[in-house]
Amino acid sequence: MKVLGIESSCDETGVALVETGAVVPQLRAQALHSQVDMHQAYGGVVPELASRDHIRRVLPLAQQVLREAGCELADIDVVAYTRGPGLAGALLVGAGIACALGAALGRPVLGVHHLEGHLLSPFLSADPPEFPFVALLVSGGHTQLMEVDGVGQYLLLGETIDDAAGEAFDKSAKLLGLGYPGGPALSELAQQGDATAFKLPRPLLHSGDLDFSFAGLKTAVLVQAKKLGVDLAARKADLAASTEAAIVDVLVRKSLAALDRTGLKRMVVAGGVGANRLLREQLNAACAKRHVRVHYPELHLCTDNGAMIAMAAALRIQAGVEAPRLTYAFDVKPRWALGEVVSG
């Protein structure tokens, strides 16, 4: 069965074709257009511009994917799209195109939870994980620790009570004048800095639960930046390194606590922040000591893409968790808790 996946929840238009049949569904082709250059001038995502750009990109990307996979429209068995969470207008583009395609081809459609896409994205790698595992989901909008026992079987262990980890990277980067998206820029600058230069808070580290809080960090970065005044330029790399270290330290320690609590020996890290070099280094080192395997999506699949949406749909169908539908009335869910897609 060939599943076409469409992602349009934020600032990336992604389309991909995944085929079921093997033990793990296989990626046949994918194409992506990032809007980063377009939004850069505004210092962040402009929702209306995002929607309009998705409209321009999605069909050419779909045609490219079909061409690369050596398929035609009629070969598509299911059309999957990101139903939420995300920007309402942006989501509507993907949902509208997917349902129109489904209706025109007489094929069923399936709305996918964006975070489930991230969560299952390591299944696109050459060395996919096996269930069960602890998942650390770290994106621009979410920071969650989960116990994942199978497709659709997600138990929330802890989450952020305010800003997400990606948001902490982005907001701190903005304070340091590093532009958007801030995560990769801050991380790159941090490589030239001293991570011990500034003492920054590690909130909720000893809270005894698996929740996170990152809102205080950006305030602390702001206070330090103000204190430095004109010296900030010379100390920017040190402040970036100290910020990255604080975020990564909390993510790693809470992940280890989640492994302790569940007794599981396998971890998956997904979402944009999963691309962070320091997070990978420190988590790998800590987990190696505990004989825990850590799986990541391939670097280019950490941030938003169509492959993870097609894969999540294919896995849901293959596991019998959800059947695609032949009705084409659609809605999107800009706010949507992952817990709502948990199967019995």
Q: How far is the CB of 139 from ligand KG4 (least distance, A)?
A: 3
Residue 33 or 107: which CB sits closer to Zn ion?
Answer: 33
Query: Do strands 26-34 and 78-84 pair parallel, antiparallel, or not at all (unpaired)?
Result: unpaired
Alpha-carbon separation of residue 181 from 109, 184, 283, 317 (angstroms): 32, 7, 23, 34
Q: How far is the CB of 95 from Zn ion (least distance, A)?
A: 16
Phi-psi region of 43 (alpha: psi -120 to 50; beta: other; left: phi over 0): left
> Does residue 144 belong to the site contacting Zn ion (CB under 5 A)?
no
Residue 10 or 27: which CB sits closer to ligand KG4?
Answer: 10
Beta bridge partners of 30: 16
With CB under 5 to 8 Å by kind, the binding choice for 170 among ligand KG4, Zn ion, none is ligand KG4
Residue 57 or 118: which CB sits closer to ligand KG4?
Answer: 118
Q: How far is the CB of 165 from Zn ion (least distance, A)?
A: 12
Alpha-carbon separation of residue 207 from 134, 164, 244, 254 (angstroms): 19, 17, 21, 10
* Binding-site ranges for ligand KG4 (CB under 6 A): 10, 118, 139-141, 166, 169-170, 181-184, 187, 271-273, 275-276, 303-304
> Does residue 211 belong to the site contacting Zn ion (CB under 5 A)?
no
CA atoms within 13 A on the CB side of 98: 41
Residue 245 or 302: which CB sits closer to Zn ion?
Answer: 302
Dihedral Cα 140, 141, 143, 146, nearest 10 deg: -120
Q: How far is the CB of 11 from ligand KG4 (least distance, A)?
A: 8
Residue 4 or 275: which CB sits closer to ligand KG4?
Answer: 275
Q: In sequence order, which residues have a C-beta less than 8 Å from that of residue 77 and are 6 or more positions away?
A: 1, 2, 3, 107
| Selected binder of Zn ion within 304, 305, 306, 333 (CB under 5 A) | 304
Q: How far is the CB of 140 from ligand KG4 (least distance, A)?
A: 3
How many C-beta atoms surround the C-beta of residue 329 within 10 A?
6
Mask 83-122, x = binds Zn ion (CB under 5 A)?
----------------------------------------
Nearest to 15 by CA among 307, 333, 220: 307
Q: In what order do the strands lie in the sheet with 266-270?
A: 153-159, 143-150, 133-138, 266-270, 293-295
Question: Reduced to 3 states, what is the DSSP secondary structure of residue 286?
Answer: helix
Alpha-carbon separation of residue 73 from 62, 140, 201 (angstroms): 9, 33, 53
**Binding segment (CB under 5 A) for Zn ion, from list 18-26, 66-74, 138-146, 278-286:** 138-146
> Does residue 139 belong to the site contacting Zn ion (CB under 5 A)?
yes
Q: How far is the CB of 168 from ligand KG4 (least distance, A)?
A: 8
Residue 129 or 140: which CB sits closer to Zn ion?
Answer: 140
Binding site for Zn ion (CB under 5 A): 139, 304
